[in-house]
Amino acid sequence: MSNVIGRCVGETSLIEVNFISKKMPQVGEYVSLKYDDKNVLGMIESLVRGSVSISDEIFDPQTIAKIKEIEGDDHYIRGSIRILGDINDNLRIPRTPAPPGTEIIPASESDLQGIFQKENSLSLGTLITQDNVEVKVDLEKMFSRHMAILAMTGAGKSNTVAVVVDGILEYNGCVVIFDMHSEYNINFNNGEAKVIHPQINPLYMTFSEMKRLARIGGGAVLQERYFLESYRMASRDIRNGDTKNREFITIMKEYLEAWESGRLSFRGQDVEGDKPIIDVLNKIGDLEQRYSSIINANAGNILSKLELGKANIIDLGSVDEKAAEIIVSHILRNALQNNKKWLRQADSGEKLPLNHPVFFVLEEAHILAPNNRDTESKLWISRIAREGRKFGLGLCLVSQSPKSIDPDSLSQANNMIILRLVEPKDQRHVQSASESLSEDLVQQLPSLNIGEAVVLGLMTKIPALVKIHEHKNKEFGQDLAVIDIWKKSEEDTRKRFEDEKNDVLNLGGDY
Ligand SMILES: Nc1ncnc2c1ncn2[C@@H]1O[C@H](COP(=O)(O)OP(=O)(O)OP(=O)(O)O)[C@@H](O)[C@H]1O
Ligand SMILES: [Mg+2]
């Protein structure tokens, strides 16, 4: 039996052809067009089904029923194919379009396996349309050109992260996951999860990180001036070894108190009223109280905790968004500065906490690198997005709200795994960040099932519709069984009530 799916019709171009068929193929299926000694690979991107006799000019359902009785299911199928390249010529786009009438046949399994099997690769899943073809992506390109995993909530982002992380651990890589919901302390197949409860030594914080944590900002010019000067003085004293074991924040407070009481003059001037200094002291007090779990004057450089061959989980589940931003920016800034030194001054003899590449996974990327406001973390995310590949730092932005992510950072993510995405604004934002996401592929995004994804970018030679492997960690991100929990709580309450009643009756009381 012929395996011809259909034939090209109308005008064909170098990048797209339309076809007519009698058989129903699937969107995402790969096809082959053979002409002029070429074996051109294409992907079916859209399909419609129609009937010449049942047109939308008929307004009577009875008439339609009668025509259908005679015609049966004799419909035509019209579709479009995106041209991906000539398999005989290393997937280069052919220089001549397919002649109209060219046969369209399914791409052979061996051709597809050849395209998706790579050296140094990571297995993401299987083709949705052919589950015997495994999809492997190029790990080096995924790392150096960054990645985004985007989808509506519950569509399978965290599961995809787990599959990617496991793939990196197979090569003894170093992964850092900024875990906003404390959900990644799971068993990976190829390495351990090392949970790190982040602690930062104020000594290693920048003025602006510190200022943000202390919530000094807006128009508080005087507060900022006193805060900055106390920060400078504390840094200077610590550099000079002039601290008598006092901590950074304690030294800042001592300067502020001395200016406030007049024991010290502020840069040779009188202070401009005590209130701004008292306000700064209060804010530092709040900072110490609110962030006592993450600020630690004895903590070393957090980078030295990161280990090769492990999923290093920075647990941000119990800190607020401001602290999460600061921790992320602190780690990214230090990693960039560290790796610049590592690669540029390889023989300077300085002992660095890190001397290898690191892949950073940022969950809730729309909070850490938001579209419409500036945050400390956004600054460093966008810097690593731009410069990271030269210094061995890869980024993976994960988000359920792509429209709220900083477009500069998102557009640096050349590789994308997009699972089910329904909201048109999200779709448009992703499309404007990625030149390889065609309109037809966007149309597919709402109809994907859980764990199904469009995979794009340099890490894959051709775009693919992939069923991502299910990570063995089955508990992952499951919805709460709300009704069961309520039922159980009600039973517990009733039992407690019965027990109390029996106790009272046993003691001879009335109930
Ligand atoms: N590839 C897959 N195969 C089978 N099941 C999957 C797959 N991906 C996800 N699931 C299931 O779907 C559920 C939600 O997955 P996951 O937690 O990864 O979604 P998410 O997009 O990260 O959600 P959230 O937005 O809440 O973080 C999980 O119970 C998981 O087991
Ligand atoms: Mg998730």
Average pLDDT of the chain is: 90
Element counts in the chain: helices (H) and strands (E): 15, 17
Ligand nearest to the CA of 451: 1
Instruction: Report percent pLDDT > 90 for the chain.
Output: 59
Whether 297 maps to a domain, the answer reads no
Strand 193-196 and strand 311-315: the pairing is: parallel
154 alpha carbon to ligand 2 midpoint, in Å?
7
pLDDT tier, 350 (very low <50, low <70, confident <90, very high otherwise): confident
354 located within any domain? no
Structure tokens at 388: 């990271």
User: 173 and 99, same structural domain?
Assistant: no
Q: Which whole number is the average pLDDT over 110-133?
A: 92
Residue 290: per-residue pLDDT? 85
Give 1's contacts (C-beta < 8 A, 6+ positions apart): none
- Give residue 108's Cα distance to chain centre: 33
Can you spell out the DSSP letters for 426-486? HHHHHHHH-TT--HHHHHHGGGPPTTEEEEESTTSSS-EEEEEPPPS-TTTTPPP-HHHHH
CB atoms inside a 10 Å sphere around CB 436: 16
Number of domains within the chain: 4
Most confident of 146-160, 198-212, 229-243, 253-267: 146-160
Question: Residue 453: nearest ligand to its CA?
Answer: 1
**pLDDT of res. 295:** 84
Q: Which single residue is written with the structure tokens 């701004």?
A: 276
Identify the weakest region by mean pLDDT among 36-45, 128-137, 233-242: 233-242
Same domain (yes/no): 234, 320? no
Pairing relation of β-strands 393-399 and 147-150? Answer: parallel
Please determine, for residue 274, whether its predicted confidence score (pLDDT) is greater than 50.
yes
Say if residue 185 is in the same domain as residue 248: no
The C-alpha atoms of residue 92 and residue 299 are separated, in whole angstroms, by: 54
Residue whose CA is closest, atom 12 of ligand 1? 156
> pLDDT confidence of 479, banded at 50, 70, 90?
low
Checking 138-143 for CB contacts under 8 A at 24+ apart, the result is 138/458, 138/459, 138/460, 139/167, 139/168, 139/171, 139/459, 141/415, 141/457, 141/458, 141/459, 142/394, 142/415, 142/457, 142/459, 143/357, 143/359, 143/389, 143/394
**Neighbouring residues of 163: CB distance < 8 A, sequence distance ≥ 6:** 123, 124, 125, 468, 469, 471
Smallest CA separation from ligand 1 atom 9, residue? 156
Ligand 1 atom at minimum distance from 363 CA: 27
475 located within any domain: no
Q: What average pLDDT does range 262-274 have in this prediction?
A: 75
Structure tokens at 51: 């009937």
Domain membership of residue 116 (yes or no) is no
> Which residue's CA is minimally distant from atom 16 of ligand 1?
156
Q: Tell which atom from ligand 1 comes closest to the C-alpha of 163.
A: 1
367 and 508 assigned to the same domain: no
Output the residue whose Cα is nearest ligand 1's atom 11. Answer: 156
pLDDT for the residue numbered 213: 87
497 shares a domain with 409: no
Q: What is the pLDDT of residue 1?
A: 47
The parent domain of residue 210 ranges over 203-290
- Measured distance CA(459)–CA(415) in Å, rounded: 6
Quote the pLDDT of residue 507.
82
Mean pLDDT of 42-64: 89
pTM: 0.86
Ligand 1 center to residue 299 CA distance, Å?
Answer: 36
What average pLDDT does range 393-421 have in this prediction?
A: 95
Q: Is residue 507 part of a domain?
A: yes
Is the pLDDT score of 289 beyond 90? no
Shared domain for 228 and 334, answered yes or no, is no
Q: Please indicate, yes or no, if residue 1 is contained in any of the structural domains.
A: no
Asked if 101 and 171 sit in the same domain, the reply is: no
Kindly report the CA angle at 209 between 180 and 216, in degrees rounded to 5? 110
Indicate whether 312 and 417 sit together in one domain: yes
Mean pLDDT of 61-79: 87
Q: Residue 136 maps to which CATH number?
A: 3.40.50.300
57 located within any domain: yes
- Give residues with Cβ within 8 angstroms of 482, minimum separation 6: none
Q: List pLDDT tens digits, range 203-252.
A: 888 888 888 888 887 777 888 889 999 999 988 888 887 777 778 888 89
Contacts of 57 (CB under 8 A, 6+ apart): none
Provide the H-helix boundaries in 136-180. Answer: 139-144, 157-169
Q: From the CA of 161, give the closest atom in ligand 1.
A: 18
Q: Give the distance (Å) from ligand 1 centre to CA of residue 145.
A: 25
**Residue with CA nearest ligand 1 atom 1:** 451
- Please name the residues in contact with 187: beta carbons below 8 A apart, sequence gap of 6 or more: 193, 472, 473
Tell me, yes or no, whether 62 and 134 share the same domain.
Answer: no
Are 129 and 60 contained in the same domain?
no
Out of 107, 133, 168, a domain closes at: 107
Q: Express as a percent the part of the chain with pLDDT over 70.
A: 96
Strand spans (E) along 291-420: 311-315, 358-362, 393-399, 415-418
Report the pLDDT averaged over residues 242-264.
84
Ligand nearest to the CA of 452: 1
φ and ψ at residue 195, rounded to 5 degrees: -85, 125
Summarised one tens digit per residue, pLDDT across range 420-470 is 999 999 999 899 888 888 888 898 899 999 999 999 999 998 999 999 999
CA of 37 to the centre of ligand 2 (A): 47
Q: Looking at the structure, do residues 330 and 442 belong to the same domain, yes or no? A: yes
CA distance 218 to 227: 14
pLDDT at 423: 93
Residue 291 pLDDT class (50, 70, 90 cuts): confident
486 with 406, same domain?
A: no
The ligand 1 site (C-beta within 6 Å) comprises: 151, 153-159, 400, 450-451, 468, 470, 476-478
